[in-house]
Amino acid sequence: MKCEEVREMLPAVVGETDSLAVRRHLARCPECRADAARYETLLTTTAKLQTFVAEPPPGLMASLQAIPQARGRFDEVRTHVVRNRKAYAGGAAAMVATGLAGALVWRTRSRRLAHA
Ligand SMILES: [Zn+2]
């Protein structure tokens, strides 16, 4: 089995492969073993991120409700976002982390189904 073939399969098989060919390759290829270790770390880390709950800071809801509904008020919205950038950055980070974890799970599951 070639490195490219093994690395293509790693996200779906890391830590639980039944493939003898993959296991043999990992046993003799330090580069692919290192890749497998990185995937395992990524999976472990993203699993922890899924349980992260971000609480909005007090007053954020009132600030959001105070944003004028009219269009063409971009400056007011921008000022609001700049003033509350920590809250938005935390929320964005949580969304990105959740999205990455979801994408990884989706990709892993779709590959498992494709190989089944
Ligand atoms: Zn290899």
Tens of pLDDT, residue by residue over 50-67, are 666 778 888 887 887 777
DSSP SS3 for 69: coil
Distance of CA 33 from the midpoint of ligand 1 (Å)? 7
Q: What's the whole-number mean pLDDT along residues 93-112?
A: 68
* Contact indicator for 89, 57 with CB cutoff of 8 Å: no
Distance of CA 108 from the midpoint of ligand 1 (Å)? 20
Distance of CA 41 from the midpoint of ligand 1 (Å)? 18
Instruction: Output the pTM of the full model.
Output: 0.42
Residue 101 has pLDDT above 80, yes or no: no
6 vs 96, higher pLDDT: 6
- What pLDDT, on a 0 to 100 scale, did the predictor assign at position 27? 92
